[in-house]
Amino acid sequence: MIVGQRVRLRALEESDLERCYRWINDPEVTEHLTARFPISTHDERKWLLQASSGDGDRSFAIETAEGEHIGNIGLHRIHYLDRNAELGILIGEKDRWNQGYGTEAILTLLKFAFEEMNLHRVYLRVDADNPRAIRCYEKCGFVKEGTLRDATYRRGRYKDQYIMSVLAHEFRAAASGR
Ligand SMILES: CC(C)(COP(=O)(O)OP(=O)(O)OC[C@H]1O[C@@H](n2cnc3c(N)ncnc32)[C@H](O)[C@@H]1OP(=O)(O)O)[C@@H](O)C(=O)NCCC(=O)NCCS
Q: 25 in helix, strand or coil?
A: coil
The CATH number covering residue 78 comes to 3.40.630.30
Question: Which one-letter amino acid corresponds to residue 83?
Answer: R
Q: Residue 11's closest CA among 40, 66, 50, 68?
A: 50
3-state SS class at 108: helix
Side-chain-facing half-sphere of 30: CA atoms under 13 Å: 16
What is the value of pTM for the model shown?
Answer: 0.97
Tens of pLDDT, residue by residue, the chain (178 residues): 999 999 999 999 999 999 999 999 999 999 999 988 999 999 999 999 999 888 899 999 999 999 999 999 999 999 999 999 999 999 999 999 999 999 999 999 999 999 999 999 999 999 999 999 999 999 999 999 999 999 999 999 999 999 999 999 999 998 887 7
Establish whether residue 136 lines the binding site of ligand 1, counting it when its CB lies within 6 angstroms of any ligand atom: yes
CA–CA separation, 46 and 33 (whole Å):
19
- Count the domains in the chain: 1
176's CB contacts (< 8 A; 6+ apart) are none
> Could you tell me the residue range of the domain that residue 105 belongs to?
2-177
CB of 89 closer than 6 angstroms to any ligand 1 atom: yes
Give the number of other CB atoms < 10 A from CB of residue 102.
26
Nearest CA to ligand 1 atom 19: 132
CB-CB contact of 41 with 73 (8 Å): no
